[in-house]
Amino acid sequence: MGESGMGGSGGYRGEEEAFHAYTAGVAPLAERLRGVADRDLDGHAGFHEHAFSRIGSEVGLADALRTATTRQLHGVRGLADSMGGTAEAVRNTWTNLSGTEDDAAAALRRAAGEPS
């Protein structure tokens, strides 16, 4: 288990397993949401004008359902993109955190006169 952080009450601490567990759980969920949007919602956004008969067309039922489904489709895709971005940000945070810790430790060793 990798761990990074400053001790004491004013510092921070990160556990590699927690970062990886979050990413491993959220990234597939984001992909499933994308699949729902692309596979299940996208096809329903294409109601043709007379899908609900001529009366349905005259009262705008097909247009209303098309608009609502398209809005829902964009919302689900946006949520999937947001979740995917969050998973990537968490993955990058761990990478940056451990890199910063490694750089700080090397700088301290150099300052103490230890060989690199």
Long-range CB pairs of 34-39 (<8 Å, 24+ gap) are 34/77, 34/80, 34/84, 36/76, 37/73, 37/76, 37/77, 37/80
Kindly tell me if the per-residue pLDDT of 10 is higher than 90.
no
Residue 32 inside a domain? The answer is: yes
Domain count, the chain: 1
What's the pLDDT at 22? 94
pLDDT in tens, 19-56: 999 999 999 999 999 998 888 777 766 667 777 788 87
Per-residue confidence (pLDDT) for residue 115, from 0 to 100: 77
Task: Answer yes or no: pTM beyond 0.85.
Answer: no
Looking at the domain assignment, is residue 76 inside a domain? yes
Whether residue 20 lies inside any domain: the answer is: no
Given this model, what pLDDT does residue 29 score?
94
Q: Is residue 4 part of a domain?
A: no
